[in-house]
Chain A
């Protein structure tokens, strides 16, 4: 009987240094042989590798946590699905089924939501670039439009004239909420007086009805107090414009930016410690709201949460293709998923799990993607035991921003599957092939190659 094999390794012992990657081997060897009860091996056999896998159960659960946290604390809340974090039809359909409206930031996202069956009046249209044609459609279909700049006020007045209607709109604000970076490029600045100028401009035009305020203070915000500040300033501003201009603000859209349990690069604390719970955000927001609003006044609170709902519902299965030893001694692996499909690798250190037990001590490793590009680094520091070729890694959370910001670059984009609540595995986006890429190309006849095979 031969002994079980473990790949040979040697480590230099260093004394006198703190081990900042402490925590021991308990965390270093994480095994996940299945996702929602479906074996990783079978998923790959049927759908290939790399493979994005979404869990419907997790998606609904994350949404309900958010919904409960806010609706238990405030009587009038609307949740709007941030399309840009993940606009796959199946994902959007689940969240619309849960009652979310659609928050879109381009005519493309608007059209995608409409095509899916979302009525215009269930769409919030945000963003700094709204082509005039799309504003016409949005006004006609009764979408909520949050204005980003003075030119857009003029555009909307033109649409109002054309349609003979008085569009009900919101304006986007930006403000100091005590955090850095302060997002000042979207909307009208509150502290400088620009926001009140925008209201004056709207009132002077007389063609638009201001009914909402929108703000979005940043992304991956780890500080609930920033939202308290945001809410207080929005309520104060809403009452000011009601008094001075007679516009009754019906909704306060506080945007999103809530974090997921992902580990941001540069943050050493594990996400379970660093990321506040959704209840802490809800507590801060709703308390600030209730303590600033007049008694009996409950304008609609709108939340545009994306990442906090979908990120943890997404996994990426990837396969070890080769092992390398760097000149500095660092171990590296080439895996079949790269930054072309994993945009958020630039922001996070993912949770990396193995599909099987692998014997041997963990050492710091680099995960390189398959692209012949120096930037293709999935993780530059992950503790892994010596992995045989063919080992599958399960990366998470990857549900937000990847299947929207991914690009067709060097390789095809892979399959995306959804595991339903009853364990059904359904393909929700088919892997690309050459025909997807060349479909829109046109080769002038004079350039056609005359080579013979």
Chain B
């Protein structure tokens, strides 16, 4: 089971990592992405979903997803070996 699957998420954007005891807060867009990633969606699917849900271009969404994944990695929420 991947790291993301273990995270506890509230609908308000509160994230708890039971492995480390760290907690996080995400905004609406971040939560939207996290839920999709937890469901095992690919990057392309996430970008697609973002453009359908929000008023954002494909380019901006793709660029921001790269940055968001980087933030997750830096916060230890993505396993290095596991690519999403």
| Contact (Cβ within 8 A) A8 B29 | yes
A6 to B56, CA, bound (A): 9
| Contact (Cβ within 8 A) A6 B27 | yes
What 1/0 flags go to A386-398 for Cβ under 8 Å of B? 1010000000000
| Contact (Cβ within 8 A) B71 A9 | yes
| Contact (Cβ within 8 A) B26 A5 | no
Q: Could you tell me which residues of chain B, from 29 to 84, have a CB within 8 Å of some CB in chain A? A: 29-30, 32-34, 50, 52-56, 60, 63-65, 67-68, 70-72, 74-75, 77
A402 to B70, CA, bound (A): 36
Question: Is B5 on the interface with A (CB-CB < 8 A)?
Answer: no
Contact of B25 among A2, A11, A327, A388 (CB under 8 A): A11
| Contact (Cβ within 8 A) B71 A13 | no
Q: Could you tell me which residues of chain A, from 309 to 338, have a CB within 8 Å of some CB in chain B? A: 323, 325, 327-329
| Contact (Cβ within 8 A) A10 B54 | no
What 1/0 flags go to A83-113 for Cβ under 8 Å of B? 0000000000000000000000000000000
Question: Is A4 on the interface with B (CB-CB < 8 A)?
Answer: yes
Please judge, given known A-B contacts A3-B55, A5-B29, whether A10 and B67 are in contact too, CB under 8 Å: no
Instruction: Chain B residues near A388: list those with CB within 8 A.
Output: 60
What 1/0 flags go to A8-25 for Cβ under 8 Å of B? 111111000000000000
Residue picked from A5, A9, A328, A388, most chain B C-beta under 10 Å: A5
Contact of A10 among B52, B65, B71 (CB under 8 A): B71
Please judge, given known A-B contacts A2-B55, A5-B56, whether A329 and B75 are in contact too, CB under 8 Å: yes
Q: Which residue of B lies closest to A324 (CB)?
A: B67
Instruction: Chain A residues near B75: list those with CB within 8 A.
Output: 10, 12, 329
Chain B nearest Cβ from A248, distance in angstroms: 71
Q: Could you tell me which residues of chain A, from 7 to 54, have a CB within 8 Å of some CB in chain B? A: 7-13
Chain B nearest Cβ from A235, distance in angstroms: 61
Instruction: Chain B residues near A5: list those with CB within 8 A.
Output: 29, 50, 54-56, 60
Instruction: Chain A residues near B67: list those with CB within 8 A.
Output: 7-8, 323, 325
Q: Which residue of B lies closest to A327 (CB)?
A: B74
Question: Is A360 on the interface with B (CB-CB < 8 A)?
Answer: yes
Instruction: Chain B residues near A328: list those with CB within 8 A.
Output: 74
A7 to B74, CA, bound (A): 17
Tally A residues with Cβ within 8 Å of B: 21
Instruction: Chain B residues near A224: list those with CB within 8 A.
Output: none
A227 to B5, CA, bound (A): 66
| Contact (Cβ within 8 A) A10 B55 | no
Q: Which residue of A lies closest to B13 (CB)?
A: A10
Chain A nearest Cβ from B34, distance in angstroms: 8
Residue picked from A325, A328, A329, most chain B C-beta under 10 Å: A325
| Contact (Cβ within 8 A) B24 A8 | no
Instruction: Chain A residues near B70: list those with CB within 8 A.
Output: 325
Please judge, given known A-B contacts A4-B54, A329-B75, A388-B60, whether A10 and B15 are in contact too, CB under 8 Å: yes
| Contact (Cβ within 8 A) A4 B55 | yes
A360 to B65, CA, bound (A): 15
Instruction: Chain A residues near B33: list those with CB within 8 A.
Output: 8
Chain B nearest Cβ from A287, distance in angstroms: 54
A9 to B71, CA, bound (A): 8
| Contact (Cβ within 8 A) A10 B56 | no
Question: Is A361 on the interface with B (CB-CB < 8 A)?
Answer: yes
Question: Is B22 on the interface with A (CB-CB < 8 A)?
Answer: yes
Instruction: Chain B residues near A10: list those with CB within 8 A.
Output: 15, 24-26, 30, 34, 68, 71-72, 75, 77
Instruction: Chain B residues near A329: list those with CB within 8 A.
Output: 71, 74-75
| Contact (Cβ within 8 A) A325 B27 | no
Q: Could you tell me which residues of chain A, from 368 to 391, have a CB within 8 Å of some CB in chain B? A: 386, 388
Q: Which residue of B lies closest to A323 (CB)?
A: B67
A4 to B55, CA, bound (A): 5
Instruction: Chain B residues near A327: list those with CB within 8 A.
Output: 74
Contact of B30 among A2, A8, A13, A325 (CB under 8 A): A8
A2 to B29, CA, bound (A): 13
Q: Could you tell me which residues of chain A, from 245 to 275, have a CB within 8 Å of some CB in chain B? A: none
Instruction: Chain A residues near B52: list those with CB within 8 A.
Output: 2
Chain A nearest Cβ from B31, distance in angstroms: 8
Interface on A for B, CB 8 Å cutoff? Answer: 2-13, 323, 325, 327-329, 360-361, 386, 388
Interface on B for A, CB 8 Å cutoff? Answer: 15, 22-30, 32-34, 50, 52-56, 60, 63-65, 67-68, 70-72, 74-75, 77
* Sampled A-B contacts (22; CB under 8 Å): A2-B55, A4-B54, A5-B50, A5-B56, A5-B60, A6-B28, A7-B29, A8-B65, A8-B68, A9-B26, A10-B15, A10-B25, A10-B26, A10-B75, A11-B24, A11-B25, A12-B24, A325-B70, A325-B74, A329-B74, A361-B27, A388-B60
